[in-house]
Amino acid sequence: MSELKQTFNSSLGKKLIMALTGLFLSLFLIVHLGGNLLLFSNDDGYSFNMYANFLTHFPPIEVIAYLLYLAIIVHAIYALVLTIKNRKARSVGYAVATKSPVSFSSKNMGLLGSILLVFIVIHMGDFWYKYKFTHDVGYKEYRTDITSGERTVTDFKPEKPDFEHSLSYADNTEITRVKDIHSRVANSFSILWYVVIYVIAMVALSFHLLHGFESAFRTFGWVHRKYLPIIKFVGVWLFAVIIPLGFAAMPIVYYLQSLK
């Protein structure tokens, strides 16, 4: 067995892979939340649709996106491999459940991660897959008056079904035709059970990262009296509070708006 293979097959090496992929996915969440805050801009989905269009047509982002999908798969597979190995390490269990004082998160990372994996499949199936591989997503035409900046929006039906987007100018007006993922989002978030799934998943995300972010640094061995409090602070407030709250706010706000 080659040296590197041996390294990553060891118990510590497998944990290193979990930590690296986990932190990469955490970093992605920051970008994902930042971009998706455009859902809150009141412009009939213009900026959100343009953003989605940019993400799917800018090659470097596409490369990172496929790395991201790979990271999700590797993180899940290694979690499964490690869990099976850990179960084997205690073939006969205890009759009395443990009463050791440990956090809920750290004991239930597998369960929380499984909830998130199911959520990712639903989430990507509904938006990413339909956006990229089907013709289920409609189109919008945005006409912006260049001098006044006033924008009107209409539905748009392209002649060819694999139309992506176009930008043209006519009569001092900028005409943008783009796939309308925004309506798809608004539509999904007007369904109550769908919103509930999102909120449950974000609660799971919160608890998963509450332990996961700090744990990744511990796995690297970056535990230091000076820096650990910073890592803990970022892990708790940014990754376990702000990010899940920000994501959960989107379906909730859209659902409340759909009631009006």
Partner 1 sequence: MSNANGTMNLTLKVWRQKNAQTDGKFVTYKAENISPDMSFLEMLDVVNESLIHAKGEPIHFDHDCREGICGMCSLYINGRPHGPKRAITTCQLHMRSFTDGETITIEPWRAAAFPVVKDLAVDRSAFDRIQQAGGYISVNTGGVPDANEIPIPKVIADEAFNSATCIQCGACVAACKNASAMLFVSAKINQLALLPQGQPERYRRVQTMVAQMDHEGFGSCTNTGACEAECPKEITLTNIARMNFDFFSAKLFREEEVQEIDNN
- What residues line the site for partner 1 (CB under 8 A)? 3, 7, 10-16, 82, 85-86, 88-103, 106-107, 109, 211, 214-215, 218-223
Q: Are strands 139-145 and 173-179 parallel, antiparallel or unpaired?
A: antiparallel
Cβ proximity to partner 1, 80 vs 223, nearer residue: 223
CB 41 within 8 A of CB 108: no
Cβ proximity to partner 1, 57 vs 87, nearer residue: 87
Backbone angles phi, psi at 94, to 5 degrees: -85, 150
CA pair distance 194, 122, nearest whole angstrom? 10
CB 247 within 8 A of CB 199: no
Cβ proximity to partner 1, 39 vs 79, nearer residue: 79
CA pair distance 121, 109, nearest whole angstrom? 18
Cβ proximity to partner 1, 86 vs 152, nearer residue: 86
Least CB distance from residue 242 to partner 1, whole Å? 23
Least CB distance from residue 26 to partner 1, whole Å? 15
Least CB distance from residue 121 to partner 1, whole Å? 24
Whole-angstrom distance between the N-terminal and C-terminal Cα of the chain? 64
Cβ proximity to partner 1, 58 vs 220, nearer residue: 220
Least CB distance from residue 226 to partner 1, whole Å? 13
Least CB distance from residue 202 to partner 1, whole Å? 22
Q: How many CA atoms lie within 13 A of 224 on its CB side?
A: 6
